[in-house]
Structure 1
Amino acid sequence: MNKFMNSIGIKSRKAFETNVDINIKNKVLNFYARLLDKEKKLILRENLKDIEFAKNKGIKENLINRLKIDEVKLRNIKNSINKISKLKDPVNITLKKWNRPNGLNIKRVTIPIGVIGVIFESRPNVTSDVAGLCFKSGNAVILKGGSEAINTNRILAKLFRKALKKNNVDENYIQFVDSKDRKMVDIMLSKMKKYIDVIIPRGGKKLVKRVQEFSVVPIIGHLEGLCHTFVDKDAELNMASDIIYNAKLRNTAICGATETILLHEKIVKKFCNPILKKLEDENCKIYGDNILKKYYKGKVYPAKEKNWSTEYLTAAVSVKVVKNSEEAINHINKYGTMHTDSIITKNKKTANKFLKNVKSSIAMHNTSTQFADGGEFGFGGEVGISTNTLPPRGPVGLEQLVSYKYEISSKGKIRE
C-alpha cells in the first residue's frame, strides 16, 4: 500500500517538473470537454452504479443528490471545463516590479504550488473541476474520492488522462487513487510530505476534521459552511423574502446554503410570517427562539444552543431575533464558520459595518449566500472554499492555486 502510494507520488513529482505551454493546456481542456460529451452514456452508466451502491448502503437522500449526475449536471461540468480553458494562464505573471536604490531590480512572479492532494466525498464534479483547475495552473494533482462515487470519479479521471495523452502531455499530471481503502487517505496525510505540497479536503465535517488532525502537509480547507442571513430593520420585505427562500432552499445540500436566519427585533412582527411561511410551505423545519414563537403563526420547534452551530444541509433552518446589527455580527462571529454571511438592508452604513466586521471569508449585502461558488465569481470553478484566516480565502480558483517567487537582477552588485 505504501509502495503503491509512493509510486503515485513519484509520478506526480515527475509530471509536475515538465512545463506545459498554455496553448497545449487549453488544447487538453477542450479535448477533455469534447470527451465528456462523446462519452456521456458511459459516464451516466457508471454514475448509476454509484447511486445504486449508495442507496443499498443507506446513504442519506441529500448526499445521494450530491452524488447524482444527470445530463444537465454533465453539461455544467463540461461548461466549467470550457470556461477554465478560456481563462488567462495564472503562471509566470509579474505581480509587481520595482527598482531599489541599492541597484537591485526586483520582480514578484507567480509560480505553480506543486503537487496538490485533494481528498473529497460524494460530488464527482470535483474530479473534473479540480483536475482542470490544477492542470491549467501548472500543478499536478492526486485525487482521492469517496468510495460512494468511485465508478464516476474513475471514468472522469480516466477521460482527463486520455486528453493529456492525446496531446503528448504526461498523463500523471492527473492521478486518481483507485481504491475504496481509507488507509490511502492516512498515507496521503502522514507519509507523503516529500511528494505532496498541499492537501485540500472537500467533504463533510468528519472528513475535514480528520484531515486537520492528521495531516503533516499544509491544508487549504473549510470545516463547515454555517452561513447566516441577517434581515436588518431597514430591509425591504419582498427582497428579504426572495433572498432567504433562495439562500435556504435553492439547494440545501451545498455549503453556501443559509443555515441560520437572524431577524432584527423591529421587523420581526411584520416580516416573520411572510418570510417563514414560504419556507414552511416547502416543508422546511423551523427552529426558533422564544421571541419568534410569540409572533410566528406556523410551527416552530424550540431552538436549543446546539441549533446555532448546526449545519443542516437539508430543509431545516434556525431563526433568532436580535436587538441590532451589533448583536447579529457578534452572533455570526461566535457561531459561524467564516464561510459566507449576508445582510439584507437598504441602509448602506449598516451594510458597510456588517461587511467590515463579520469574520467571514465571504461577506454579502442584499445577496443570496448560494452565490458562494467559484464559478459564480468568474473563476471557472473551484477546488473548494477556504475559511482559513491565512490566504487563500473564499473560493479557491486558478489565481489562488499559484504561489510566487522573487526574481532579482543587478549589474554585478555586492552588499557592503
Structure 2
Amino acid sequence: MAASSASSSAADPAAALDALVAAKGPLASSAAAQRDDAIERFEANLEQARAEIQEANAAECARAEADGLSAPLLRRLRLDGRHYDGMLASLRALRALPDPIGGVFDESEQPSGITTARMRVPLGVICFIYESRPAVTADGAALCVKSGNAAILRGGKEALQSNLLIAAQMDRALKEAGLPAAVAMLPTADRAPLDAILADPRIDMVIPRGGPGLVRKVKETARCMVLAHLDGNCHVYVAASADLAMARRIAVNAKIGNPSTCNAAESLLVHEDAAAALLPPLAAELAAKGVVLRGCEATRALLGDAAEAAAEEDWGREYLDLVLSCKIVPDTAAAIAWINRYGSHHTDCIVSGDAAEQQRFCREVDSSSVLVNTSTRFADGYEYGLGAETGISTGKFHARGPVGLEGLTTAKWVVRSAGAVRE
C-alpha cells in the first residue's frame, strides 16, 4: 500500500482533513501486522530523535517557566529521561495488544434461521486536542493507528515544537510501513483552524484533554461525539474498618505521586471513628512533603493549625497541586453521598477491611473508576492494561474511564444466513 502525500504537519487544515478522510479507509482495512510495524518503527524513530526532541522540550520548558506557567503545567510539559522512557514503554505495551478491529462477538443463531453477530470497526477520523504533555502526541498517534483511525492532533502552544517533532516521527514510520499518512498535527496554536475542524461533519469523535475551559469550548463547538472529563476531583475515603497504615500509604501516594495529574487525590474523607488515630500522623507526613490541608470544622478541631479552614468551593475543586481538602464523615453512607455531590465522576477510592462495605461503595459511587484499597494514581490506561490512553471519559455513553483501543472503536451488526427471507 503506497503512502499518501499528506504531511504530519497540517499547515492547511482543510487539505489535511481531506487527506485524512481519504486515508481512513485504507488504514482501517490494513493488516494488523502492518499497523504494529508502523508503531514499532515509530518507537525506533523516537529513540533516534531523542536528543533533538529533548533539546526542543528543554527550551520550551525554560520559556514556559519564564512566562510564568504554573508548576503543575510545567511538570506536565517536561519530557526528561524518565518521561521519555515511559513514552517509549507505552508504545511497546500498545504494540503487544491484540488487534482491536475486525473481531466478531455476541454471535447468536435466531429462530428465523439468521445468525447475528457484532464486529468491531474503527470510528473513522478522530480529532485529539490536549494541553502541555508532549508524550500525549505519541500516545494519541499510536492509539489511533493501532485502532485503524485517522487522527488530527492539536497540542498546547507551550509544547508546539516538541509535538511537531514527535508527529514527524510517526509520519515517517507510516511511510516506512507502507501505510497512508493518517496522522496530522496542527502546527499552530491559533484557535480559528481548530474551530473550523470541530465544525466539520467529517470528524467522527473529538477527545479534549485539558482544563475545563477547553473542554467546554469543544463541547460547544463540535458537531460530533465529545469524549472528555471536565475535572478530576478524586476522593480517598478511609472507613472505620480500614487498616490505618495502609490508609496512610494510599492517601500519601494518591496526593503526592504526581499532584498535577487528573488521577491525583484532591479530597480525603475519614470516618469519625478513624479520624483521631489517622489524621494527626497523616497530616504530619503530608505537611513534611509540602501538602497544605484544608479541613472541615471537625478536622480543624482535631488538627488545629495543621489544617486551614476549608471553604465551600474547596470541596469540589481540582487543585492539581499540593493541596488536599479533608472532611470527617459519620458513616459510609455519608461518604458516598458526599462523593456523588462534590466529586467529578472520575476516580474514587475506599480504604476498608469490610467486604460488604467495599461492595456498597463500588455499587453506589457514581464514578468511572471505583477503587478498593488502591491509590487513585492507578486510574490510568497504561496501568489498566490498555497500553496507553487518549484520556479519561466521565460520561456514560460509548466509553467510560480510561479510553484505550476499544474506546476508539464502535461495533456494527453482521447478519448471515443461507438465503433466509422474512415471512
Q: Could you tell me the TM-score, scaled by structure 2's length? A: 0.95
What is the CA distance between 1:185 and its match in structure 2? 2.2
Structure 1, unmatched stretches of 5+, are none
**CA deviation profile, 1:185-233 (whole Å, cap 9, x unmatched):** 212222x11x210000001111112112222221111111110000001
Return the match for 2:364 from 353, 357, 374.
Answer: 357
Secondary structure of 1:58's aligned partner = coil
Return the match for 2:236 from 229, 238, 260.
Answer: 229
Secondary structure of 1:313's aligned partner = coil
Q: Which residue of 2 aligns with 1:14?
A: 22
Q: Is 1:241 equivalent to 2:241 in the alignment? A: no
* Paired residue type of 2:368: S
Equivalences for residues 15-414 of structure 1 within 5 A? 15-18=23-26, 19-171=29-181, 173-190=182-199, 192-193=200-201, 195-414=202-421
* Paired residue type of 2:137: T
Paired with 1:325 and 1:204, the residues of 2 have a C-alpha distance of: 31
**CA deviation profile, 1:29-74 (whole Å, cap 9, x unmatched):** 1111111111110110111232133123211121111001011111
Q: Is the 8 A contact 2:11 2:187 kept in 1?
A: no
What is the CA distance between 1:400 and its match in structure 2? 1.6
Q: Is the 8 A contact 2:291 2:323 kept in 1?
A: yes
Paired with 1:350 and 1:150, the residues of 2 have a C-alpha distance of: 48
Paired with 2:368 and 2:419, the residues of 1 have a C-alpha distance of: 45
Secondary structure of 1:296's aligned partner = helix
Q: Is the 8 A contact 2:39 2:95 kept in 1?
A: yes
The aligned length equals 412
Paired with 1:342 and 1:298, the residues of 2 have a C-alpha distance of: 27
Paired with 1:289 and 1:346, the residues of 2 have a C-alpha distance of: 25
* Paired residue type of 1:5: P
Structure 2, unmatched stretches of 5+, are 1-9
Q: Is the 8 A contact 1:98 1:106 kept in 2?
A: yes
**CA deviation profile, 1:91-116 (whole Å, cap 9, x unmatched):** 00111211111111111111011100
Paired with 1:110 and 1:298, the residues of 2 have a C-alpha distance of: 57
Paired with 2:126 and 2:178, the residues of 1 have a C-alpha distance of: 22
Paired with 1:378 and 1:220, the residues of 2 have a C-alpha distance of: 20
Paired with 1:180 and 1:222, the residues of 2 have a C-alpha distance of: 22
CA RMSD for the aligned pairs? 1.3
Paired with 1:381 and 1:186, the residues of 2 have a C-alpha distance of: 27
* Paired residue type of 2:115: N
Secondary structure of 1:213's aligned partner = helix
Paired with 1:16 and 1:142, the residues of 2 have a C-alpha distance of: 12
* Paired residue type of 2:196: I
Paired with 2:344 and 2:282, the residues of 1 have a C-alpha distance of: 25
Percent identical: 34
Q: Is the 8 A contact 1:119 1:185 kept in 2?
A: no
Paired with 1:3 and 1:313, the residues of 2 have a C-alpha distance of: 33
Paired with 2:40 and 2:20, the residues of 1 have a C-alpha distance of: 22
Paired with 1:168 and 1:158, the residues of 2 have a C-alpha distance of: 16
Paired with 2:231 and 2:136, the residues of 1 have a C-alpha distance of: 17
Q: Is the 8 A contact 2:368 2:393 kept in 1?
A: yes
Q: Which residue of 1 aligns with 2:3?
A: none
Q: Is the 8 A contact 2:11 2:186 kept in 1?
A: no
Secondary structure of 2:162's aligned partner = helix
Paired with 2:47 and 2:304, the residues of 1 have a C-alpha distance of: 50
Secondary structure of 1:20's aligned partner = coil
Q: Is the 8 A contact 1:240 1:275 kept in 2?
A: no
Paired with 2:105 and 2:137, the residues of 1 have a C-alpha distance of: 30
What is the CA distance between 1:167 and its match in structure 2? 1.4
* Paired residue type of 1:269: A
